[in-house]
Chains A and B, each alone.
Chain A
Amino acid sequence: MKARDSLLLILIVVAAWQVFHWIVGDIALRSPLVTARHALALLADPGFWPHLRETLLAFAEAFAIAMGIGLFIGLTLGASRLAGDVAEPILVALYSIPKVTLYPVILLIFGIGMPAKVAFGAIHGIVPISIFALNAIRNINPVYLRTGQVLRMSPLSATRKILIPAALPEIVTGIRVGFSLTLIGTLLGEMFGAQRGLGHMLLQAMTRHNMDAIMALTLLLVVFAAVVNAALLSLDRHLHSRA
């Protein structure tokens, strides 16, 4: 039933794409079939794989850093009511500035190449992950912690067995949002300050008006993001369905 719904949704999106393609014309938008063919050709091209590897590596590093720092900030600030109250508006403010404005700063610190795009990807993910983790801790039902007190649990034991499991569903939601934003950040970083990677390929295709390459790359990125997001979403739903 669920698989059928997903399939139906994909068919609708492809059909809409096809219709849109007929309306705006082949120069602006390639058809789904042509795009798929180019994407397959790209995958078959041995020159493409180093770029893909570079991007995945940069993204994996950025995501790991975003999770590490984001969870640390969120959980630490969440543990103290005052710190949380003070930090939350600041984090939300940071969340709303376009990170591109910080790009020159990042380039000056890290130079062009891998570290810059990892850093740029990570700063996109840190803030949402920390905001969600912060609120996950702050919004825990106080009666769970009182139950821990009645059971005479040590603070460490209560943290491990009550606080963390209670906060986990919200934390996973934050990680899911952080995943998407870190991917965007990494690709943006590659577009402006790299010689390799999918973002770099995308920018080259854009400057050359290579519509086939733009659309094929975009399709591959969408498929990648959708697959990972679906996996995280199912974990997310699994955790929330019990809450």
Chain B
Amino acid sequence: MSLAGASPAPASGAVHVSLRGVSRIYPGRAAQPALHALGPIDLDLAPGEFFAVVGPSGCGKSTLLDVMAGLATVSAGSITFEGRSVNGAVPDGVGVVFQEDASFPWLTVTDNVAFGLREIGTPEATVKEKVSYALNFMGLGDFTQAYPAQLSGGMRQRVCIARTLVLEPRLILLDEPFGALDQQTRLLMGDELLRLWRETGATVLLITHALDEATMLADRVGVMSARPGRFLELVKTGWPRERDSTIVADSRFGQLTSRIWTLLRAESLRAMGHSRIAR
């Protein structure tokens, strides 16, 4: 038993997800002008790649995740996942972990994690097996019958991650999943995320506002501009696949983080309207 997807990344070259000229514009209403939230964005994710996105607040990071997940439509451009077009419908094989606590308070931890499996009609014996594996993997083995209200924020987020994992998604999108957690918990959750990324072989896109988190976890970090969000630069970290949070002690970690910060600082100030300080 493992969490690896049934079919590994398809052999359609080295591209798993592809975005071409993707933008999203919120149409204006009576008093409001139209809002150009995102793009145009071009991006290719390789199968099994860990990609992190950082950017100033309000730059459209979450919008990027929404259109990639099929939770929102694109205004221009196209997105393909495993060769098939994504526009406004969530494709099979995509899992999303949201920033907010999305665990269902009316279900126990076990029933929360089993929810998606039962929804697709998985036989109950298989559900049991997969859920118990995922619960142990996420360190929730002692809380199977607890309700989310009895758990800490970090553990509730782990429930949501486990609920996504058991469906064996080939693309996992995470929208600041650790944003509400304290620093130590975030580092430990980062370790767990790396572990499950290696084990599942899934392609991961992580949106975060923590630069150290992005540098520590990702193969590549996409630094976004202020709204409308575009990629200013894609920074390669060059970490080995076997890695954990101890790489924060690596000398290159500081260099990479400060590189990203330099790119981001000017943009963040611009986004906040402090153009004079930025100069």
8 pairs of A and B residues whose beta carbons are closest in the complex: A165-B106, A143-B102, A143-B100, A243-B105, A150-B96, A242-B147, A151-B116, A147-B102
Q: If A146-B98, A147-B98, A153-B119 touch, does A242 touch B106 (CB 8 Å cutoff)?
A: yes
Binding site for B on A (CB under 8 A): 141, 143-144, 146-147, 149-153, 157, 161-162, 165-166, 168, 239, 241-243
Q: How far is the CA of A144 from the CA of B100 in the complex (A)?
A: 10
By beta carbon, the residue of chain B nearest A141 is B100
Interface size on B, residues (CB 8 A): 22
Q: Contact between B116 and A146 (Cβ–Cβ < 8 Å)?
A: no
Q: If A143-B98, A241-B149, A242-B147 touch, does A150 touch B104 (CB 8 Å cutoff)?
A: no
Q: Contact between B102 and A168 (Cβ–Cβ < 8 Å)?
A: no
Interface of B (DSSP majority class)? loop
Select B106's contact among A147, A149, A151, A166, beta carbons within 8 Å.
A166
Q: If A150-B71, A151-B116, A152-B92 touch, does A166 touch B149 (CB 8 Å cutoff)?
A: no
Q: Contact between A151 and B147 (Cβ–Cβ < 8 Å)?
A: no
Q: Contact between A146 and B71 (Cβ–Cβ < 8 Å)?
A: yes
Q: Contact between B115 and A150 (Cβ–Cβ < 8 Å)?
A: no
In the assembled complex, which residues on chain A have CB atoms less than 8 Å from the CB atom of B148?
Answer: 242
Cβ distance A159 to chain B, nearest Cβ, rounded Å: 13
Cβ distance B3 to chain A, nearest Cβ, rounded Å: 17
Pair count A-B, CB < 8 A: 52
In the assembled complex, which residues on chain A have CB atoms less than 8 Å from the CB atom of B147?
Answer: 242
In the assembled complex, which residues on chain B have CB atoms less than 8 Å from the CB atom of A141?
Answer: 100, 102
Q: Contact between B106 and A150 (Cβ–Cβ < 8 Å)?
A: no
Cβ distance A239 to chain B, nearest Cβ, rounded Å: 8
Q: B25 at the A/B interface (Cβ < 8 Å)?
A: no
Select B95's contact among A150, A162, A241, beta carbons within 8 Å.
A150
In the assembled complex, which residues on chain A have CB atoms less than 8 Å from the CB atom of B113?
Answer: none
Cβ distance B184 to chain A, nearest Cβ, rounded Å: 25
In the assembled complex, which residues on chain A have CB atoms less than 8 Å from the CB atom of B90?
Answer: 149-150, 152
Q: If A152-B92, A153-B119, A242-B149 touch, does A165 touch B98 (CB 8 Å cutoff)?
A: no
In the assembled complex, which residues on chain B have CB atoms less than 8 Å from the CB atom of A161?
Answer: 115, 119
Please provide the chain B residues from 85 to 113 with a CB less than 8 Å away from any CB of chain A in the complex: 90, 92, 94-96, 98, 100-102, 104-107
Q: Contact between B106 and A144 (Cβ–Cβ < 8 Å)?
A: no
Q: List 14 A-B contacts (CB under 8 A).
A: A147-B98, A147-B104, A150-B95, A151-B119, A151-B167, A152-B90, A153-B119, A157-B119, A165-B104, A165-B106, A166-B105, A166-B106, A242-B105, A242-B147
In the assembled complex, which residues on chain A have CB atoms less than 8 Å from the CB atom of B54?
Answer: none
Q: How far is the CA of A20 from the CA of B224 in the complex (A)?
A: 73
Q: B69 at the A/B interface (Cβ < 8 Å)?
A: yes
Q: How far is the CA of A243 from the CA of B148 in the complex (A)?
A: 8
By beta carbon, the residue of chain A nearest B164 is A150
In the assembled complex, which residues on chain B have CB atoms less than 8 Å from the CB atom of A150?
Answer: 69, 71, 90, 94-96
Cβ distance B70 to chain A, nearest Cβ, rounded Å: 8
Q: If A146-B102, A150-B95 touch, does A243 touch B149 (CB 8 Å cutoff)?
A: yes
In the assembled complex, which residues on chain A have CB atoms less than 8 Å from the CB atom of B94?
Answer: 150
Q: How far is the CA of A157 from the CA of B118 in the complex (A)?
A: 12
Given contacts A149-B71, A242-B148, 8 further A-B contacts (CB under 8 A): A143-B102, A146-B98, A150-B69, A151-B116, A161-B119, A241-B149, A242-B147, A243-B149
